[in-house]
Structure 1
């Protein structure tokens, strides 16, 4: 499924870089917009890449680890927020409308049944287990969740989406994300754990201790991404991982959101190293682990707005920057066509 992820089209990038230097502006004067235009050309293998319309997929799932008191909100909020998405009342709904995105919500592992029109039911199981006491899920469940994400992304791409934005909803999901990052980075948990949804300062220490205990008991294999996800991961994290692999396989740019989304990006890279070539970091979250995750991924964010909401919201806010890069290529005059002297 993932072996067909091809490397970037470097030759197309070279051609587009040369073309950008013929546009009516001093060489390099549009800075990172020029870099983004070249990168999008390399991703899509098109001289005039298109990123509109984007597609937004929000994966929702619950986490047994909330039993350890690691979140400021109760687990019922996951269902309530899914209903908010379906009623178009969340931040990601607002920003998706703003950018003209296709939008869907996938129940990949919410701990309750959601009988509502509009939700895509692909529930793998009713939330993960408490990974302080047992593995979060089985390897088979991880693979099924990845396959769900792959399928939903391919469907959205086939419907015409030219850029993929992935979001998540799952109370407690910064805890598995921090645990995964600790495994991948080899760094101490204390430097990676933040407030998540807004826990009090004294609870952060507790959250660190929960993660340290879980890692000691679960012993996830650093060299086996499926094992990491099975032992300390989340269903929506696995779902986003699969969606990114599908986008990369289809040469569709992936605009990354915040901390949790970037952890899924790292998982996709662990499964297939070329997948990360198709990723652009939309923003940097205030979650302390996000900086480390971006460094591991080798990405520099477009925006830094002190966001920490998730849902895909930061990526959606960053999307117009990608649009600007493509429109620069498509609509700017060249020195020749405008009759302007370069000398």
Structure 2
């Protein structure tokens, strides 16, 4: 009798509501699932819990080991009432919590897409991969930012497997945010460490968008690791303001995808590299002070209108031009400006202010 008492669980050893326990399937019926919990007796899954766990139960066989969550310690029939669905969800969130804690990268399949990003799954929990968290090779570069075209590009990833890291999660809100970009940060960091501000890279244009140009080039750091060529690339952005010393309205007017370019690294922040084309060109403003000065009368070509006035191109040297602004106040209104000037035509202007160190020239119309 004493030995039997030693084998019996103590009061504080009994499972509590909310605790996940392990057992073996002992019987299945059309409405109930019975699980052998060993010294804790027999558990039952029935009612709404049975319905919610249909996808799990249909694959279970007699003797299969399974995890279940205690929803009632003992019902009127003496069974422990269990939930398979809640146990699976809890185990899944425990896994997600561990992935976040260890910053471990895992591979997951892209299930679907929406305008904001991609839908993935980790152990049955749906997660969201925002467009902003895609790796550079998967980022949709669509001219004009057309949302339908972006969605079309994202749809190509459905069914593919991406390596991701858990970025954020909230169990109560059933929210899971993941990042593909974060999963590649470690090897990107090692590759980027080989570069510094001022270095010049040679690469090819990989994307052209309204706000600039993306350029890819081989990373010697990764090449040394003997990885496939498609993985041996770094990518940087040339902002529209760094394409040329002159005003650029549309980057596509200067370059197209596939063009070979040389660019200078002007900033490295985390895994983002900023590049410049214009820094490798002679700054026309530096030599313009020898030719232009305040009060001078010059001929200029009207390039465009905007709410501030008219942008005018001034030729300094055979292959060098500057742009000045003829402010809207010179005309009084948009209507009067449009009546006085026409885009694409040349007019005489007077230099009202010339500040080459600030790349600024104000013009007055004659």
Larger radius of gyration: 2
Instruction: Provide TM-score, normalisation by structure 2.
Output: 0.17
Higher relative contact order (CA 8 A, sep 6+): 1
User: Going by fraction, where is strand more abundant, 1 or 2?
Assistant: 2
